[in-house]
Amino acid sequence: MAPAHGPSRRTIILSSSVIAATAAMLQVQMHEYAHGITAAVQGAPATISSLMAEHQSVPGVEATLATLAGPLFSIVLAVVLYAASRPLPAGYLRAFLTWMSFAAAQGTFGYLIVGMFMPVGDTAVLFEAWGFSSFGYIMAGVIGLAGMLFLSYLLSREILRTLSGPGDVVAASVLTWLVATAVMAVVYVSAALISGYSAEYLVPTLMGATTTLVFAPMATFWWQRVPHLHRPWDHGSPVVQGVMLVLAIAVVLWHALAPVTIG
């Protein structure tokens, strides 16, 4: 049974979706800055848009480092933010850091999985540079799948701190994923069109937007395997949530209209 005086399903979906979409979009932008700054430090000026970091060609090892910087940064960011969120009480900051941590980690796990099927993204570039065999691609995909399932387990632990009813859990995972993904798809397709990218970029753009939070619905797998703690629900002020979402959208669209050049 859900705790008495708990939030409505509508509140769960809106609150969780807004926070998840905000956190995911901001960490994507940070990921691109990690690529751009690494390239610029190596003497290759980089231009960072809302969709990618483009830089002048750099040789061998330097090129690999610039590509590796994004996934490596995302994993480090995920670990740091998750650790920082654990001591915090319920509230906006805990929810925001938790979702950003998971989205950052999924960015890397997702690339590992996609690398098994198509040569796109950071990992595809790295795998080719490192001369991965077919077995290597498959093992990377297995690691990515395992990581994604682990994220869903951690999310279920977070959800079940405050929610226990099956419908509430679905609202905080499956429906949150659907709504947040729809928001991100609209924002990033808009950014692609504003930036003047050709149609060939729309598919990877949509793919990135729709897979950043794909671990979320899998949290339902663990509903009966994780302790239900029945602690009070608190995701912070709706005003704060809305302001942060608007800020995240503004960051994405601003980088589409006026890409930032470093170096």
Task: Please list the residues that pair with 260 across neighbouring strands.
Answer: 48
> What percentage of the chain reaches a pLDDT higher than 70?
90
The whole domain housing 76 covers: 9-262
pLDDT on residue 9: 95
For residues 49-54, average pLDDT: 82
**How would residue 119 be classed by pLDDT, with cut points 50, 70 and 90?**
low
171 DSSP 8-state letter: I
pLDDT on residue 201: 66
The structure's pTM equals 0.92
Determine, yes or no, domain membership for 131.
Answer: yes
Task: Please list the residues that pair with 48 across neighbouring strands.
Answer: 53, 260
> Which of 106-115, 176-185, 194-203 comes out lowest in average pLDDT?
194-203
Tell me: pLDDT of 41 over 80.
Answer: yes
Please give the residue that has the higher pLDDT: either 198 or 67.
67
Tell me: pLDDT of 59 over 70.
Answer: no
Please give the residue that has the higher pLDDT: either 49 or 96.
96
pLDDT on residue 2: 39
Name the phi and psi angles at 257, rounded to 5.
Answer: -75, -35
222 DSSP 8-state letter: G
- Across all residues in the chain, what is the average pLDDT? 88
> What percentage of the chain reaches a pLDDT higher than 90?
60
pLDDT tens by residue, 194-252: 887 766 667 767 777 778 999 999 999 999 999 999 999 999 999 999 999 999 999 99
How far is residue 255's CA from residue 81's CA, in Å, rounded to a whole number?
Answer: 24
Determine, yes or no, domain membership for 72.
Answer: yes
Please give the residue that has the higher pLDDT: either 118 or 248.
248
pLDDT on residue 196: 78
pLDDT on residue 1: 35
How far is residue 112's CA from residue 100's CA, in Å, rounded to a whole number?
Answer: 19
DSSP 172-186: IIIIHHHHHHHHHHH
Determine, yes or no, domain membership for 2.
Answer: no
Burial 154-176 (b: 16+ CB within 10 A, else e): bbbebbbbbbbeeebbbbbbbbb
Tell me: pLDDT of 145 over 60.
Answer: yes
Determine, yes or no, domain membership for 209.
Answer: yes
Determine, yes or no, domain membership for 181.
Answer: yes
For residues 177-197, average pLDDT: 90
Helix 92-114, helix 238-257: angle, nearest 10? 40
- List the structure tokens of 127: 């795998």
For residues 26-42, average pLDDT: 90
Determine, yes or no, domain membership for 1.
Answer: no
pLDDT on residue 112: 86
Determine, yes or no, domain membership for 138.
Answer: yes
201 DSSP 8-state letter: G
Count of C-beta atoms within a 10 Å radius of residue 15:
22
Q: How many domains does the chain have?
A: 1
Are 241 and 18 within 8 A, CB to CB?
yes
Determine, yes or no, domain membership for 3.
Answer: no
Tell me: pLDDT of 3 over 50.
Answer: no
Give the torsion through C-alpha atoms of 173, 218, 147, 189, to 10 deg: -60
